[in-house]
Amino acid sequence: MSVDHLEDRDGPSHSRPSVTDRADSTNNRQGPSKGEVLKRPLTERDGVALREEVRDWGNLDGDRPVTWRRTTRRWREYIEDTRDTDTVLRNDATGEYAAGSSPHRFAEEYSDKQYAKLKDLERGLRDEYGKRLHTAMLSLTASSTDDAGFPLPPVDHLDDLDGSWEAVRRELSRQLEDRRWEYLAILEPHESGYLHIHIAVFVEGVVTRDDFAPVIEAHLRNCDRAGREAHDTTDDSTISINQVGLDRRELHAAAEGFEFGESIGNLGTYLAEYLGTHSGDPLDAPDHQQMSNAVLWATGKQRWRPSQGAQSYMASERPDDDDSASEWSLHGVVRGTEFHRVRSDDTGGVDRFVTSSLPPG
């Protein structure tokens, strides 16, 4: 599906509502249409760093961004422009050069790398925790409308949603003190295009909803737009507890009618279902995923936020058979027939501006 039609219509989307779309409900009016949402600027706040591509050069009231609709269009142009791009690597010891693809994070090939990392994470956790591995999935949301029911700029909504993160992480540490645990936080889009957070928590030993209810409370206290009705701690959509795999004896007992609670046989696949990403051509993804990808692209926000231990399990590097092999470094990129060298102080070729209400100098 293409989002091109969104640039010309203001009617509502007919996508099937998500079970987590409760956070997008309004108090005083019917929920905003997709057209209303797409007319909003990325942010109305000052001091927000965004990609230069989303600067509104026609705005005379300061350094302001374009609308969500135009941002999505420019994200699509970025995807098209990077299809014919390859990296050039240099061996720092030998001076040898090699070319290869290095897909951006929205590319189809990158999804395969993500899944491989999830499987690495699963193997690492199973090796460490064995049959005592349990996981909890926590969901954090925030209303995407203001008090009058009008849609918020998507970057402002994401900043408000993320405002509770440090408090949430501290509360996790308190609740799981003296236990081995790791986490992987994932940003996933609602059907509206606005984002919410899933936190997969991996724990050695049995855990219950009561262990994580204070974590949800920390989010409610520190995110003004988080509604209590959307964070019912007795509901699986807010806190879901699972054991990762049952041993043979437990499986036999389960077949005889004994219950051991929910069990996950394939943790990597289970986590991949929460990514909210499209495994094919990013320009064929559903509207709401393209809209959320455009927000992540404009802000530079990462979709994943792993703990240090989870990051080490997901490390993509593998030991090389040749111990004397030197590391390769990025030397430049080839776009079409043009070579662009990457400087040592380069920021990846991304120019940014900071929003401001001051008139242009």
207 within domain boundaries: yes
Q: What is the pLDDT of residue 288?
A: 94
* Predicted confidence band of residue 347 (pLDDT cuts 50, 70, 90): very low
Distance of CA 164 to the CA centre of its chain: 16
Is residue 293 situated within a structural domain? no
3-state DSSP helix/strand/coil percent for the chain, to nearest 5?
Answer: 35, 20, 45
Return the structure tokens found at 183.
């986490």
**Domain for residue 18, yes or no?**
no
Do the domain assignments include residue 55?
no
Residue 97 lies in a domain: no
In a domain, 330, yes or no: no
Cβ–Cβ < 8 Å for 349, 104: no
Question: Per mean pLDDT, which of 128-142, 237-251, 343-357 is the most reliable?
Answer: 128-142
Give me the count of residues in the chain: 361
Sole residue written with tokens 């996933």: 188
* Residue 179 confidence (pLDDT) above 60: yes
Predicted pLDDT at 336: 60
Burial class (CB in 10 A: 0-12, 13-18, 19+), 58: exposed
C-alpha pair distances (Å), 277 with each of 5, 14, 198, 251: 21, 20, 13, 33
Q: What is the pLDDT of residue 193?
A: 96
CA dihedral 176, 177, 180, 183 (to 10 degrees): 50
Domain extent for 157: 108-282+301-313
Q: pLDDT-derived band of residue 141, with 50, 70 and 90 as boundaries?
A: very high
Residue 54 has pLDDT above 60, yes or no: yes
Domain count across the chain: 1
**pLDDT at position 173 over 90:** yes
The strand pair at 328-335 and 304-306 is best described as unpaired
What integer pLDDT is reported at residue 107 of this predicted model? 82
- Is residue 86 in a domain? no
How do residues 187-221 score in pLDDT, each as one tens digit?
999 999 999 999 999 999 999 999 999 999 999 99
pTM of the model: 0.79
Classified as helix, coil or strand, 41 is: strand
Considering the domain boundaries, does residue 223 fall inside one?
yes
